[in-house]
Amino acid sequence: EAEVAQSPRYKITEKSQAVAFWCDPISGHATLYWYRQILGQGPELLVQFQDESVVDDSQLPKDRFSAERLKGVDSTLKIQPAELGDSAMYLCASSKGGAGELFFGEGSRLTVL
Amino acid sequence: AQSVTQLDSQVPVFEEAPVELRCNYSSSVSVYLFWYVQYPNQGLQLLLKYLSGSTLVESINGFEAEFNKSQTSFHLRKPSVHISDTAEYFCAVSPSRGNTGKLIFGQGTTLQVKP
Question: A93 and B108: CB-CB below 8 Å?
Answer: no
Segments of chain B scoring below 70 in pLDDT? none
Residue A70 pLDDT class (50, 70, 90 cuts):
confident
The answer to whether residues A3 and A103 touch, using CB atoms and an 8 Å cutoff, is yes
Which among A41, A56, A104 is the nearest to B44, CB-wise? A104
With b for 16 or more beta-carbon neighbours within 10 A and e for fewer, the A33-55 pattern comes to bbbbbeeeebbebbbbbbeeeeb
Q: Which of A113, A40, A107, A112 is nearest to A77 (CA)?
A: A107
Q: Which of A110, A42, A45, A41 is nearest to A82 (CA)?
A: A110
The per-type count for chain B, helices as H runs and strands as E runs, is 0, 12
Residue A51, chain B, CB below 8 Å: the answer is no
Which among B32, B96, B101 is the nearest to A31, CB-wise? B101
Distance from the A34 Cα atom to the nearest Cα atom in chain B, whole angstroms? 11
Q: What are phi and psi of A84, to 5 degrees?
A: -55, -35
Q: Which strand (E) or helix (H) includes residue A53? A: strand A53-56
The whole-number pLDDT of residue A72 equals 86
Assess whether pLDDT exceeds 80 at residue A16.
Answer: yes
- Residue B17 CA to residue B103 CA, distance in Å, equals 31
Which among B45, B101, B104 is the nearest to A99, CB-wise? B101
B87 three-class SS: strand
Q: Give the pairing type, strands A10-13 and A108-112.
A: parallel
Distance from the A83 Cα atom to the nearest Cα atom in chain B, whole angstroms? 23
Q: Which of B71, B70, B62, B57 is nearest to B22 (CA)?
A: B71
- Taking CA–CA distances from A4, the nearest residue in chain B reads B43
Chain B CB contacts of A99 below 8 Å: 32, 49, 51, 94, 96, 100-101
- Taking CA–CA distances from B104, the nearest residue in chain A reads A44
Convert the pLDDT of each residue in B81-102 to its tens digit: 999 999 999 999 999 888 888 9
The whole-number pLDDT of residue A1 equals 67
The whole-number pLDDT of residue B64 equals 97
